[in-house]
Amino acid sequence: MSFRLSYRADPGNPWFSWQYVRDNSDTILAALRDHAWLTARAVLIAALVALPLAVAAHWYRSLAGPILALTGVLYTIPSLALFAFLAPYLGIGALTVLSVVVLYALLMIVRNALAGLAQVPPEVREAAEGMGYGRWGRLFRVELPLALPGVLTGLRLATVSTVALVTVGVVVGRGGLGQLIFAGFQNNFYKAEIMTGTLLCVLLALALDLLLAGLGRAVTPWLRGRSR
Amino acid sequence: MSNPVGEAVRWLNDPLNWTNPGGVLDRLGEHLGMSAAAVLLGCLVAWPLGLWLGHTGRGGGLVVLVSNVTLAVPTLALLTILPLTFLGFGRPSVVVALAVFAVPPLLANAYTGVRQADPEARDAARGMGLSGGQVLRRVELPLAVPYLAAGFRTAAVQVVATAALASFVNGGGLGQIIRAGFGLDIAAGGGQIIAGGVLVGGLAMLVELVLALVERLVTPRSLRPARSRASRRAAAVAGS
């Protein structure tokens, strides 16, 4: 990294500039906060919608096909097209960005949660039934805990791709760190601004992924010591 | 605000919007051109590498790493960074950026395709005196074709979808219509924004359908419903 460059009289246009980061820390932090907050809300909402959908698809086999097909179609629609469909109705701003990224995150969470629920061994299910658990008791006490690794995989995938996707929100003026990247491109190709936004995006994805992985370890103590 | 859907229909119904320079037909040509180039480039890089890694049985970790890293890098970042490198502004940098996002599904499916080849078939081929390269070419490659096709389909649909974002760096393509709409006021451009969305979304769906058909055609009947498409594709999904 060429930190040295920032101390010259004419810093030129380096990819990495500590000077830029220091001078614009307010803007950068605001963008980072906006990005993280949008991502967190999106994943939370997507999880709250996706988990009941996955359970419904798990209980009623006939629902699994349509639910997976619907989320699959959503995934085929390009993000920019989805913004185009929603923006004229939801307006310019966070609501549109949030709706788009939630729709994309749904697929990954539903698919992985469903796979997690499906791989619960039938013997376990029968044993739980034999012990007198009803449908709900079995779900909350037996099936969901055993499906947790699958659910978490889906959450982690959804989080990482949501961080990347939020940047497209610049099209409606709320892209978080994407705002930095795009502004850098428009401001005479200010490389330091572009690179800072990009690196923070990747680091944010990594940090959230590690956070979820740690959370997963904490809530599935019985898996520890096994090779994943 | 007037009715955006009605406006969109009116916009699409105007023949001038299709045939003008920079109209729908021009943009469609650009969109398909750069998508095809990107998928081709991705195949040239990912297939030989994936097949070879699968053949030697090494590099499973590398495949996972590549797909995880590209999942975290925003498309927008790559589209803005590459033009500022030696690639320069214009089509080449856009094509390379799109190709980067095509690599993970192609690579993962090529790798898995070779790995899942029946070990007994592989041993039999070796026992008949085939060399490593011959085993790869005559046994593993044909058995991997359904996986290669599935990967190709995932990658192509993803690239066609992502190519809409090339409009952020004035790279052309159908996304340009949406961007131009956003450039107007949302009230004035709403119709054009939705019309562009319909075009971009419709194209992605069409590519998905056509390639699904191709995937079915190249998959031998005996291999068809062994594993669901979903589980094969789930190996490498990335944001677009």
Position A1 scores a pLDDT of: 47
CB B181 within 8 Å of CB B196: yes
Q: Which residues of B touch A178 (CB under 8 A)?
A: 74, 76
Tell me the pLDDT tens digit for each residue of B175-202: 888 888 887 776 677 778 888 888 988 9
From chain B residues 160-189, the ones with a CB under 8 A of any chain A CB are: 160-162, 164-165, 167-169, 175, 178-179, 181-182, 186
State the amino acid at position B3 in one-letter form. N
CA distance B11 to chain A (A): 14
Q: Do B197 and A206 touch (CB under 8 A)?
A: no
Q: Is A72 exposed, middle or buried (0-12, 13-18, 19+ CB in 10 A)?
A: middle
B158, B173, B194 from B191: Cα distances, Å: 25, 18, 5
Distance CA B207, CA B161 (A): 10
| CATH code of the domain in which B142 resides | 1.10.3720.10
Closest partner residue to B74 (CB to CB) among A91, A178, A191 is A178
**Domain with B189 in it:** 4-238
Tell me the pLDDT tens digit for each residue of A145-166: 888 888 898 899 899 989 989 9
Phi and psi at residue B59, in whole multiples of 5°? 85, 10
CB B108 within 8 Å of CB B63: yes
From chain A residues 143-182, the ones with a CB under 8 A of any chain B CB are: 157, 160-165, 167-168, 170-172, 175, 177-178, 181-182
Using the predicted structure, report yes or no on whether residue A175 has a pLDDT greater than 60.
yes
Helices B24-56/B60-72 angle, 10° precision: 150
Nearest Cα residue to B98 out of B22, B28, B31, B177: B31
CA distance B47 to chain A (A): 23
Residue in chain A nearest B89 by alpha carbon: A189
For B18, residues 6+ apart whose C-beta sits below 8 A from its C-beta are: B24, B25
pLDDT band at A4 (very low <50, low <70, confident <90, very high): low
State the amino acid at position A141 in one-letter form. R
From A127-141, A149-163, A187-201, B10-24, the region with the lowest mean pLDDT: B10-24
Tell me the pLDDT tens digit for each residue of B114-138: 888 888 888 888 888 888 888 888 8
What sign does the dihedral B92-B95-B101-B107 (CA atoms) show?
negative
Tell me the pLDDT tens digit for each residue of B43-101: 999 999 998 888 888 878 888 888 888 888 888 888 888 888 787 787 888 999 999 98
CB B25 within 8 Å of CB B18: yes
Distance CA A10, CA B120 (A): 66
Instruction: Tell me the average pLDDT across B218-231.
Output: 62
Question: pTM for the full model?
Answer: 0.82
Position A102 scores a pLDDT of: 92
pLDDT band at A226 (very low <50, low <70, confident <90, very high): low
Higher pLDDT, A185 or B210: B210
Distance of CA B213 to the CA centre of its chain: 16
pLDDT band at B224 (very low <50, low <70, confident <90, very high): low
Position A204 scores a pLDDT of: 93
pLDDT band at B230 (very low <50, low <70, confident <90, very high): very low
**CATH ID of A25-217, from 3.10.180.10, 1.10.3720.10, 2.60.40.3140, 1.20.1050.10:** 1.10.3720.10
* Interface predicted TM-score of the whole assembly (ipTM), two decimals: 0.79
Distance CA A94, CA A86 (A): 12
Half-sphere exposure of B212 (CA within 13 A, CB side): 11
Distance of CA B199 to the CA centre of its chain: 17
